[in-house]
């Protein structure tokens, strides 16, 4: 009986092997398993994740610089915003307190250059206006921004000396410096949001930032016109010519130069 069962098991196993060989021979011709066809090669470009560690630590340094200025020079920081929201910039006491602390002025001017340069660089990168590396572009933008305001300072100081009205030139330069320092402080949190937000939120932040910068420039021009109108007997047309010659034309030339050289 046992021998009979063993022989049945042997014959059944052999039958399964034969049927498996027959079925395997049909596999290359199966429509879903084209093993007899030519191999297809596919080149896969693996995604390289962009690291933002350096950008994060750079923004940490800027935030730390702002916190250091606010902690080390609280009176200066308070007077800066106090003077900005005053109805007249002729408050000599507040102006003198700001001008006396030269080290705090130097630090907050540095904050303006670094913060505004970072913001402009992120906007250029967000809109893909240039193909340069981020840090090289940041260095160019910050350097150009510093050259613009240094040239403006020298030009207005020279014009005030030539026309024997250095006091009005100094008042205007002080107003520009105050607005720039406020801009550097206000743009810093918006820059942090723009650096790490997704494209949808980044577009909203960029729009808000442009609105804030536009309001600050309008405020600067209105207050400076009111400041210079009484001292220089300035009319709106002459002030408009000044804006075109000193404010708009250099920016347009620099923009054209950057577009031609950086794409």
pLDDT tens readout for residues 228-241: 776 666 677 676 77
Quick check: is 12 in a domain?
Answer: no
The reported pLDDT for the residue numbered 17 is: 44
**Integer Cα distance of 59 and 93 in angstroms:** 34
Cβ–Cβ under 8 Å, residues 104 and 214: no
Query: Mean pLDDT across the chain, nearest whole number?
Result: 76
Quick check: is 28 in a domain?
Answer: no
The reported pLDDT for the residue numbered 110 is: 93
Cβ–Cβ under 8 Å, residues 220 and 147: no
Quick check: is 163 in a domain?
Answer: yes
Quick check: is 43 in a domain?
Answer: no
Domain tally, the chain: 1
The reported pLDDT for the residue numbered 198 is: 82
Quick check: is 11 in a domain?
Answer: no
Percent of the chain with pLDDT over 90: 14
Cβ–Cβ under 8 Å, residues 142 and 112: no
Range of the domain at 157: 53-262
Q: Is the pLDDT of residue 244 over 80?
A: no
The token pair at 213 is: 């910068």
Quick check: is 74 in a domain?
Answer: yes
The reported pLDDT for the residue numbered 34 is: 62
**Integer Cα distance of 143 and 152 in angstroms:** 14
| Helices 102-127 and 199-232: angle between axes, nearest 10 degrees | 130
Would the pTM count as exceeding 0.75? no
Top-confidence residue, 24 or 150? 150
Quick check: is 44 in a domain?
Answer: no
Quick check: is 122 in a domain?
Answer: yes
pLDDT tens readout for residues 189-217: 999 998 888 878 888 888 898 899 889 88
pLDDT tens readout for residues 169-195: 888 888 888 889 999 999 999 999 988
């Amino acid at each position: 009986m046992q021998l009979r069962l063993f022989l049945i098991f042997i014959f059944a196993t052999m039958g399964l092997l034969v049927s498996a060989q027959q079925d395997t021979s049909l596999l290359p011709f199966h429509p879903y398993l084209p093993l007899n066809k030519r191999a297809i090669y596919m080149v896969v470009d693996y995604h390289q994740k962009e690291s933002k560690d350096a950008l994060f630590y750079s923004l940490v340094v800027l935030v730390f610089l702002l916190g250091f200025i606010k902690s080390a020079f609280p009176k200066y920081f308070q007077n800066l915003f106090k003077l900005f929201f005053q109805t007249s910039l002729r408050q000599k006491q507040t102006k003198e307190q700001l001008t006396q602390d030269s080290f705090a002025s130097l630090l907050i001017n540095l904050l303006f250059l670094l913060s505004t340069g970072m913001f402009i660089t992120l906007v250029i990168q967000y809109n893909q206006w240039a193909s340069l590396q981020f840090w090289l572009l940041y260095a160019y933008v910050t350097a150009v921004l510093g050259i613009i305001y240094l040239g403006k300072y020298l030009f207005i100081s020279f014009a005030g000396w030539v026309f024997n009205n250095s006091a009005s030139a100094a008042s205007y330069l002080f107003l520009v410096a105050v607005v720039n320092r406020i801009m550097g402080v206000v743009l810093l949190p918006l820059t942090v949001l723009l650096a790490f937000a997704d494209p949808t939120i980044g577009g909203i932040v960029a729009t808000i930032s442009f609105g804030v910068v536009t309001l600050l420039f309008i405020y600067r021009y209105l207050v400076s016109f009111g400041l210079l109108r009484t001292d220089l007997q300035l009319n709106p047309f002459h002030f408009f010519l000044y804006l075109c010659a000193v404010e708009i034309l250099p920016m347009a030339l620099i923009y054209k130069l950057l577009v031609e050289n950086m794409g």
